Amino acid sequence: MLAADAARETQAFEAVALALLSYTPKVSLADAHTLLLEVGSGLRLFGGLRALLSRVSATVAEFGYAARVACAPTAWGAWLLAQARACRQGRRWHVVKPASLARVLDRLPVSLLPVAQAHRDAFSHVGCATLADLRGLPRSGVVRRFGSGILDLLAQAYGTRADPRESFRAPASFHAQLELPSRVDNADALLFAARRLIVQLAGWLSAHHAALSGYTLLLEHELASRHASKTSSLKVAWAIPSRDAEHLIWLLKEKLNQTVLAAPVIELKLVADQIVDHAGCSDTLFPMPESDGDSLARLLERLSARLGPENVLQMSVQDDHRPERAMRVEAYEARAFSRRQRTPAKGRTRIKADKTWLTDELRNAAHAAHAAHEEEREGGETLAHAQSASSASAGKANAVATTQPEHNAQAALDFPDSALPSQPRPLWLLDRPLRLMMRDQRPIYRRPLIMLTRTERIEAGWWDGNPVERDYYIAADDRGHMFWVYRERVKGEWYLQGLFG
């Protein structure tokens, strides 16, 4: 047996009220540890009254309490029905229509009213057993003997008088803690207790119209030795700001599965330190382009939480003209993968279509060039014939201005007269450029290569000590395979940089 602690009871009562802010911003504290929720405006949002009552009961159960839920059109009416259900008095505890409220309340015993014991004894002496009997007494006599407070309460319960109430206000900053009933040695066992803190966090975020992109769970340890740390922290972060309690709990579960406790834990503290404004998403008939990015971010969150952030890699674009330095592969970071950094789906589709069209044009040019080259070898025709055939095929695309070759060695290559549109980039870059052999002033990669585009010059890197001076081309062999090659301007050596699909 333990003595009642009023301070801790109030703290637990307010913790439940904070969690219930997820369903309505109008939560008020009432007598006998009763919470009153105004839910009339959110019934459609949560799928109806029955679904909402079920979710409210489940939220209260997260804290280890059993709720006796009742509903009525008035606050005092709901309070009286909840007390009747707790005492197992009456058969009906949910009233939706105001017309049937008076009939249900009249059957309730008068002992449920929050009045002094002396008043209850007086009610029994005069033969007043139900609320209907109390309402039948003369008003002047009731006021003279019991005061006007009882009649005001009845008027508010039956809906004949307004009942203004002050709503529970969430604190300006969130900081919740929970003392564990016993020491916990396993990290997985902490999830049951941490759920209470996360449910409170979800209610606090809803009250402030905010979302969260990360939080810190502080673990208070039982000191096993003098040199052991008393407090350890567990940081949980994700990509898209969220206030969904189930999503936050799932991420914490995966984090705890990979955590080994340094010492037994006796207390938990949760600190929300990455709060952003949140605007609710409206439902649409057709999915929006942003929904694909959100789904991808959620997938990366789950993979990172389960496999570890070091095992999930992401590519980021760098401001560098050198192809081998224009992209960097690094460990996935939830904060770096934001919605602003993602290209809309419509734009990505257009770029992909343009590259496909360019690839088809280049492949046609390659087949025409090699056909002309075969005719040159068999019929003894001049190199100019192959050059004109390649130019005629490549001329189907819109021409853009490019630089002319400067070295005499490039004059023997098969350049088209008109260049193709802006040159695409290959999807596959080699880890290290492969040096190519030369035959008859032509680079060879398994087979002789023919240039399909004019020079694309890249000169960069003088600022970091790794300068490059290269002339890039798109080449093809006699089988239609396309390659991205370049020639060193200083040494004149040829290298293979990437492959086209």
CA–CA distance, 463 with 250 (Å, rounded to integer) = 47
What is the three-class DSSP state of 323? helix
Is residue 465 within 8 A of residue 324, CB to CB? The reply is no
369 — pLDDT class (breaks 50, 70, 90): low
pLDDT band at 421; cut points 50, 70, 90? low
Q: Are 496 and 485 in contact (CB under 8 A)?
A: yes
Q: Distance between CA 281 and CA 448 in Å, rounded? A: 57
- How would residue 384 be classed by pLDDT, with cut points 50, 70 and 90? very low
User: Running DSSP on this structure, what letter comes out for residue 94?
Assistant: B
Question: What would the mean pLDDT of 444-468 be, rounded to a whole number?
Answer: 89
Average pLDDT over residues 207-227: 80
For residue 440, pLDDT over 90 is answered with: no
Region of poorest pLDDT, from 155-164, 188-197, 224-233, 420-429? 224-233
Higher pLDDT, 239 or 391: 239
Mean pLDDT, residues 385-396 taken together = 35
Q: Which residue has the higher pLDDT, 53 or 291?
A: 53
Q: What is the pLDDT, as a whole number, of residue 145?
A: 85
The pLDDT assigned to 185 comes to 83
Strands 34-37 and 265-272: unpaired
pLDDT for 34 beyond 70? yes
Average pLDDT over residues 176-182: 86
Cβ neighbours around 453 below 10 Å, total: 21
List of domains in the chain: 6-157 (no CATH), 175-280 (3.30.1490.100), 299-341 (no CATH), 351-499 (no CATH)
First CA to last CA distance, the chain = 76
Using CA atoms, how far apart are residues 402 and 417, in angstroms rounded to an integer?
11
